[in-house]
Chains A and B, each alone.
Chain A
Amino acid sequence: MASPTDCLYTDSHEWFRKEGDVVTIGITQFATNELTDITYVEMKPAGTAIKVGDALGEVESVKTSSDVYSAFGGEVVEVNEAASSDPSLLNQDPYGAGWLIKLRCDGDAGTDLLEPSAYDSKYPLD
């Protein structure tokens, strides 16, 4: 299954969907497959200033804990409370209802973002 074509991706398995100056961020299906059942989500609150490469928060699964990193700079404008209260949304719908956080971008972006086709060929799903 191909990753959504309206997103950019990182090697640390985040996806970024930019609409105007707001970017919505989540983790990819490859990531949720590797993590297995997500049990806990904690994102930085609205108003937090984020630089490229900063941790946006963390995601815990049955197996492990991992940080979620931002490839964009800006300010947190919204956190998906539904995903915090029901982390299984990340497993069920990682690119939709399981989004994590939204930033208002300040124009900074990482240089190693991957196009969907490049991400999929590098990290194929089983």
Chain B
Amino acid sequence: MSTTTLRKTPFHKYHIQHGAKLVDYTGWEMPLLYSSIIDEHRQVRERGGLFDVSHMGRFTFKGKDAARFLDRVCTRRIGSMQERQVRYALVCNERGGCRDDVLVYRHGESDFSMVCNAANRDKLIEHFAANKGDMVYRFADITDKTAMVALQGPNVMDVLSGFSREIPTLKRYRFTEKSLFIAKFMVSRTGYTGEDGVEVILPAAMAGKAVEMILKNMDEGAITPCGLGSRDSLRLEAGMALYGHEIDEDIDPLTAGLDFAVALDKGEKDGEEGGFIGQDALREIASGDGPARRLVGLRLSGRRAARQGMNVLDGESTIGSVTSGCLSPTLDASIAMALVDRAATDIGRKLTVDLGRATDEAEVVELPFYKSS
């Protein structure tokens, strides 16, 4: 084991008690798996999984200009959000590249929170401070004071119905706040697996107790702890972007197929005070034929996994590279996402992936690879 000090989440003891294999994930000691990545993947698709995602960054923005500020740094419209709504958005650089992808939660007129990737937390704090200008709001980083878990899978809403009548009635991308003793819980119908479920933000000191309470009356095995290994293969089947793979400072959201999360006309509607950072660059990218490269789904003919950075070829010419790949446990096939030349993105097109020791045929397929029924 290395001796560098890794950050530990409030669930660290829980992971050890449940036999987790712990790894360094962006400076946090996190469970890669408890028993098997593939078994945990299937557990989430068929029953339910509990993921510790406390490493993710959590911020609050409160005050009269909070919405205006978030509209300045996020690609999605924030001012038009309803209370208790959640929106996925990108935080872009001036070139339109992605500083991060985030979830924004609106608690009240001038009261918001945000969840970001662990690796980008410090970078975003600096970015927000640098762009605050004369806007009036209070920013707080509540990551260390809180914990976050994701409960994902077809069993989750059943299990939670024994705990709350309201939670199972939440619509997708909506949240509610619950009090337990004096502690506040935020429960949103969101996730990163392609399954139904919730993500819960709660006080760090309550973490162990809360999970025990939620899971205590559950049937044996209805929801079990799952590691970040299966979280990655689940999100890949669901066609969801992972920062550092499908998006980064040099990959803009339009190239990554995240058009739905980019309000290119922000600032043009009545009452809107301006656009967002990176908007001009993204409009330029969107003009004409659109981005030169596009994210596609690939289904390989063999059983080897394609890995990030492997070349994708059309005939003899290299036309792009793999961003993520795995042997999909649900489809029992090797799947990948790749950024390829716009001209080679038609569904059904036959491409080749250079796997290093061998090449394999790959067909361009629709994203996502998997949709829950």
Given A58-B357, A62-B326, check contact A37 B37 (CB 8 Å). Answer: yes
Query: Could you list which residues of chain A lie within 8 angstroms of chain B, going by C-beta atoms?
Result: 33, 36-37, 39-40, 58, 60, 62-63, 65, 88, 91, 126
Given A36-B229, A40-B304, check contact A91 B327 (CB 8 Å). Answer: no
A60-B305 in contact (CB<8A): yes
B49 to chain A, nearest CB (A): 16
A60-B21 in contact (CB<8A): no
Given A39-B305, A39-B327, A40-B303, check contact A62 B357 (CB 8 Å). Answer: no
Cα A60 to Cα B327 in complex, Å, equals 10
- Measured CB to CB, the nearest residue on chain A to B303 is A40
B303-A62 in contact (CB<8A): no
A68 to chain B, nearest CB (A): 13
B109 to chain A, nearest CB (A): 45
Give per-residue flags for B293-323: 1 if the beta carbon is below 8 A from chain A beta carbons, else 0.
0000000000111010000000000000000
B41 to chain A, nearest CB (A): 9
The answer to whether the Cβ of B36 comes within 8 Å of any Cβ in the partner chain is yes
For the A-B complex with A39-B303, A40-B304, A65-B356 known, give 17 more contacts whose Cβ atoms are closer than 8 Å. A36-B32, A36-B33, A36-B36, A36-B37, A37-B36, A37-B38, A39-B38, A60-B304, A60-B305, A60-B327, A62-B37, A62-B38, A62-B229, A62-B326, A65-B305, A65-B307, A91-B36
Give per-residue flags for B217-244: 1 if the beta carbon is below 8 A from chain A beta carbons, else 0.
0000000000001000100000000000
User: B21 contacts which of A33, A65, A91 (Cβ < 8 Å)?
Assistant: A33
Give the interface SS of chain A, mostly helix, strand, loop or mixed: mixed
Q: Which residues of B contact A36 (CB under 8 A)?
A: 21, 32-33, 36-37, 229
Give the interface SS of chain B, mostly helix, strand, loop or mixed: mixed
A126-B21 in contact (CB<8A): yes
Cα A37 to Cα B236 in complex, Å, equals 17
Report 30 cross-chain contacts, Cβ distance below 8 Å, ordered by A residue: A33-B21, A36-B21, A36-B32, A36-B33, A36-B36, A36-B37, A36-B229, A37-B36, A37-B37, A39-B305, A40-B303, A40-B305, A40-B327, A58-B357, A60-B304, A60-B305, A60-B327, A62-B37, A62-B38, A62-B229, A62-B233, A62-B305, A62-B326, A63-B229, A65-B305, A65-B307, A65-B356, A88-B38, A91-B36, A126-B21
Contact-size category for B: 10 to 19
Cα A15 to Cα B92 in complex, Å, equals 50
Q: Which residues of B contact A88 (CB under 8 A)?
A: 38
Query: Could you list which residues of chain B lie within 8 angstroms of chain A, going by C-beta atoms?
Result: 21, 32-33, 36-38, 229, 233, 303-305, 307, 326-327, 356-357
Q: Which residues of B contact A63 (CB under 8 A)?
A: 229
Q: Which residues of A contact B229 (CB under 8 A)?
A: 36, 62-63
Cα A8 to Cα B33 in complex, Å, equals 29
Cα A88 to Cα B37 in complex, Å, equals 11
- Measured CB to CB, the nearest residue on chain B to A36 is B37
B21-A62 in contact (CB<8A): no
Q: Which residues of B contact A126 (CB under 8 A)?
A: 21
A7 to chain B, nearest CB (A): 24
Cα A63 to Cα B327 in complex, Å, equals 10
Q: Which residues of A contact B357 (CB under 8 A)?
A: 58
Q: Which residues of A contact B304 (CB under 8 A)?
A: 40, 60, 65
Q: Which residues of A contact B33 (CB under 8 A)?
A: 36
Cα A119 to Cα B3 in complex, Å, equals 23
Cα A91 to Cα B38 in complex, Å, equals 12
- Measured CB to CB, the nearest residue on chain A to B358 is A42
Q: Which residues of A contact B21 (CB under 8 A)?
A: 33, 36, 126
Cα A105 to Cα B36 in complex, Å, equals 35
- Measured CB to CB, the nearest residue on chain B to A85 is B303
Cα A62 to Cα B324 in complex, Å, equals 12
B43 to chain A, nearest CB (A): 13
Cα A88 to Cα B233 in complex, Å, equals 17
Q: Which residues of A contact B305 (CB under 8 A)?
A: 39-40, 60, 62, 65
B353 to chain A, nearest CB (A): 14
